[in-house]
């Protein structure tokens, strides 16, 4: 009888190749996964941001009207890991000709929202109409009555729009129908919360200044977003 041909691969060889394949697969998978999760790790674990921790001018508080929000655009510089060395190490260069991310910021006066959805009295101080510099007391009053809101919907980040119908206005997310009132409060749709409020301050010159940082709610408090 003919002898059966011996299998050249032993059980140990098979297991060895299996382990080797798993190791190679892990090596090839880890870098892209790490790249995708990097922003989450840097913001939630390490508390980092690739936007400089500086204040940026939004605009005069006197331009914010009563009863509706005012849209401003702020260009935040971004220091990416693949940026030119001069750009990454010199924030002034970034602001004047490097990499920037334009951000729309909605500013409004805190306004009473009635149970039927209509708006009541605005908290716009009368002294704002005079323009000019502000005293410390006036600055405190202004800061207590402003809404400085991110334009990104709290659902999936689509930019919201201010929509007025039949004399009443709401922030509307055109992507999935999220709705917010003039103060950024949740009204309806899929968003899990209201709009994000930027960290801001008002200075003696009457201008609003923001950091690339906002309140994400819950126990995390203020957080600096990481821009990919």
- pLDDT 10s digits, 1-11: 555 555 566 66
Sign of CA dihedral 27, 32, 36, 39: positive
What integer pLDDT is reported at residue 5 of this predicted model?
Answer: 54
d(CA 185, CA 5): 76
d(CA 111, CA 95): 34
Q: 88, 216, 201, 94: which is closest to 150 by C-alpha?
A: 216
pTM attached to this predicted model:
0.66
What integer pLDDT is reported at residue 79 of this predicted model?
Answer: 61
Indicate if the pLDDT at residue 97 is higher than 50.
no
d(CA 122, CA 129): 14
Indicate if the pLDDT at residue 139 is higher than 90.
yes
**CB neighbours of residue 24 within 10 Å:** 10
Which of 41-55, 116-130, 174-188 shows the lowest per-residue confidence on average (mean pLDDT)? 41-55
Bridge partners (DSSP) of residue 74 are: 103
Any alpha helices (H) in the chain, and if so which ranges? 11-40, 85-89, 91-97, 136-144
What integer pLDDT is reported at residue 168 of this predicted model?
Answer: 79
What integer pLDDT is reported at residue 112 of this predicted model?
Answer: 87
Q: 153, 167, 145: which is closest to 196 by C-alpha?
A: 153
Which of 132-141, 144-153, 212-221 shows the lowest per-residue confidence on average (mean pLDDT)? 212-221
Residue 148 in contact with residue 208, Cβ under 8 Å?
yes
d(CA 213, CA 226): 10
Tell me the pLDDT tens digit for each residue of 188-198.
999 998 999 99
Instruction: Return the DSSP state at 10.
Output: -
DSSP letter string, 86-127: HHHH-HHHHHHHS-EEEEEEEEEE-EEE-TTS-EEEE---GG
What integer pLDDT is reported at residue 92 of this predicted model?
Answer: 52
d(CA 130, CA 122): 18
pLDDT band at 223 (very low <50, low <70, confident <90, very high): very low
Residue carrying the six token digits 């992507």: 175
Specify the length of the chain in residues: 228
Q: How remote is the C-alpha of 46 from its chain's centroid?
A: 17
**Is the CATH number 2.102.10.10 carried by domain 56-223?**
yes
Mean per-residue pLDDT over the chain, rounded: 76
Domain range list for the chain: 9-48, 56-223
What integer pLDDT is reported at residue 99 of this predicted model?
Answer: 72
Residue carrying the six token digits 């919907």: 153
Mean pLDDT, residues 68-84 taken together: 75
d(CA 41, CA 25): 23
What integer pLDDT is reported at residue 119 of this predicted model?
Answer: 75
Q: 224, 160, 219: which is closest to 187 by C-alpha?
A: 160
What integer pLDDT is reported at residue 146 of this predicted model?
Answer: 95
């Amino acid at each position: 009888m003919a002898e059966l041909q011996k299998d050249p691969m032993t059980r140990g060889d098979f297991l060895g190749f299996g382990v080797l394949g798993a190791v190679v697969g892990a090596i090839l998978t880890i870098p892209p996964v790490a790249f995708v999760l990097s922003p989450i790790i840097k913001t939630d674990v390490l508390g980092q941001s690739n936007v400089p921790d500086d204040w940026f001018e939004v605009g005069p508080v006197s331009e914010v009207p009563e009863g509706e929000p005012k849209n401003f655009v702020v260009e935040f510089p971004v220091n990416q890991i693949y940026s030119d060395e001069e750009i990454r190490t010199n924030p002034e260069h970034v602001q004047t000709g490097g990499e920037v991310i334009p951000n729309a910021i909605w500013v409004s006066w805190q306004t009473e929202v009635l149970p039927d959805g209509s708006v009541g009295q605005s908290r716009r101080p009368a002294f704002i109409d005079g323009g000019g510099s502000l005293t410390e007391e006036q600055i405190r009053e202004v800061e207590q009555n402003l809404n400085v809101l991110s334009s990104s919907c709290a659902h999936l980040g689509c930019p919201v729009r201010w929509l007025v119908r039949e004399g009443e206005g709401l922030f509307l997310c055109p992507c999935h129908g999220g709705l917010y009132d003039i103060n950024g409060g949740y009204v309806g749709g899929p968003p899990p919360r209201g709009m994000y409020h930027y960290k801001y301050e008002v200075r003696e010159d009457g201008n609003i200044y923001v950091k690339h940082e906002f309140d994400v709610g819950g126990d995390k408090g203020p957080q600096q977003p990481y821009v990919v």
